[in-house]
Structure 1
Amino acid sequence: MEISDWRNKIDELDEQIVELISKRAEAAKAIGELKAKTAMPIYEPQREKDVFEHVKKVNPGPLADAELIHVYERVMDVMRTLQRQ
């Protein structure tokens, strides 16, 4: 494949990633609303740890676990902000 083919493939994958992140955000927002109704804290360190462990467990590579966790740290941060709104 040529560079342009790979870039087109990346564009297609980005579209799928955006769709999945949006679905994740909808779920996080719904959880945030439930937390607000029950006075639960937005930040739950154990849940975050569980998420990180889960994504490491299902990580097929080529990203190293540490790199994947860096991505998920940012995702979790954005989702917490969404829950606070």
Structure 2
Amino acid sequence: MDISDIRKHIDALDDELLKIFNQRAQLALDIGHHKKRLGLAVYDPERERKIFERMKAANPGPLDDGAIVRLFERVIDESRRLERIKTKGI
């Protein structure tokens, strides 16, 4: 494979990541609506800790566990932000 083939493969993966990020965000919104209805907090540190531990245990590399946690921290932070914005008036 040459560099343009590798870049095409990266572009395809980026397209898939975009789709997955938005699917995950929608599920976070669904959970946010349930939390709002049940009077639960948006932030659940125990749930986040479990996600990080699960992802580190499943991580085959080459990204190290710290990188995996940082990536998921960002994804989860954006999900929380979206929950707060979209469930505010409910």
Question: Does the pair score TM above 0.5?
Answer: yes
RMSD of equivalent CA atoms: 0.6
Distance 2:16 2:59 in 1: 18
Question: Cα deviations across residues 18-39 of structure 1 (Å, max 9, x unaligned)?
Answer: 1111111111000000001111
Give matches, 1:38-77, under 5 Å.
38-77=38-77
Number of equivalent positions: 85
SS at 2:75 equivalent: helix
Q: TM-score, normalised by structure 1?
A: 0.97
How much has 1:60 moved relative to structure 2?
1.2
Write out aligned runs for 1:6-85 (5 A). 6-85=6-85
Whichever residue aligns with residue 21 of structure 2, its letter is: I
Secondary structure in structure 1 of the residue aligned to 2:6: helix
Instruction: For structure 1, list consecutive stretches of 5 or more residues without a partner in the other structure.
Output: none
Write out the 4+ residue segments of structure 1 that deviate beyond 3 Å after TM superposition.
none
Report the alpha carbon displacement of residue 57 of structure 1 after superposing the two structures with TM.
1.2
